Amino acid sequence: MPLDLLAFHAHRDDIEITCGGLLIRSAERGYKVGACDLTQGEMGTLGSAAEREREAAEATRILGLAERVNARLPDAGVFNTREYQIRIVEILRRHRPQVVVLPGLEQRHPDHRLTPQLVFDACYFAGLEKFEPGLGGEKHRPRKILWNHSSFDEKRPTFVVDITAQMEKKVAAVLAYTTQFPDRERISEYLRARARSYGLLIGTTYGEGYVQRESVQIDDVMTLPGTSI
């Protein structure tokens, strides 16, 4: 299925935590939104791969996703190798997203840190006609790549998405992972506190921060949102 937006992350539940609000908001606006978990989360201390798959199905329903796929890379074994690049290229060519969302570049978990490097390179290679002859699939390169703003990032986010109207669904999607978050109150409090910190940056209740590398073109400064003083 061709998608407008496709989010990538290492493990089931990562996407819900980092960009769940954006995915819900985009789906509510009629866009075809998808998610790709690189691993099955089989190395997690809590739960099994099968349990997390069932939980992901419920979270997917809450998010309103049109598609969710799993690259089946080894948990705690995500590396930026040609073999894994090919696997991601296949997914990109199959679903042809216009916008790709990646984890923040600075991360504590090695899988989280390597996922944006791997997928970014695959996004480039997916647009090469002669990449891996015989691979199949028409070449495709996403138009826009966004990174989740990370708490490890010293810079401010490039922009913040207002997810106030989507916050309850985002929390519900995370709580669908009952094996991962047995303390529901604690994870709910964390999600709201983090979203509140981004919301304060733009004068809303809840938000999610994102980073893009390129400068933004503005044609009419009179339409710029926000208040400076």
Residue 119's CATH number: 3.40.50.10320
Query: Sign (positive/negative) of CA torsion 73, 43, 68, 7?
Result: negative
With respect to residue 224, please indicate whether it lies within any of the assigned structural domains.
no
Question: How many domains, the chain?
Answer: 1
Domain membership of residue 138 (yes or no) is: yes
State pLDDT tens for residues 20-57: 999 999 999 999 999 999 999 888 878 899 999 999 99
Average pLDDT, the chain: 95
pLDDT at 43: 83
Q: What is the DSSP letter of 16?
A: H
| In-domain check, residue 220 | no
Range of the domain at 121: 5-212
Residue type, 207: G
Flag whether 135 is in a domain. Answer: yes
Q: Which of 57, 6, 34, 40 is nearest to 178 (CA)?
A: 57
Given a cut of 80, whether residue 12 has pLDDT beyond it is: yes
- What pLDDT does 50 receive? 94
Question: Is 76 contained in some domain?
Answer: yes
Q: Give the model's confidence band at 227: pLDDT under 50 very low, under 70 low, under 90 confident, else very high.
A: confident
Q: How many residues does the structure list for the chain? A: 229
Backbone torsions φ then ψ of 109, nearest 5 degrees: -75, 125
For residue range 112-143, list pLDDT tens digits in order: 999 999 999 999 999 999 999 888 889 999 99
Q: Is 218 inside any structural domain?
A: no
108 has pLDDT over 90: no
Residue 227 forms part of a structural domain: no
Residue 102's SS3 state is strand
Question: Per the domain annotation, does 217 fall within a domain?
Answer: no
Q: Distance between CA atoms of 52 and 205, rounded to whole angstroms?
A: 30
Whether residue 147 has pLDDT greater than 80: yes
> 178 pLDDT band (50/70/90 cuts)?
very high
pTM of the model: 0.95
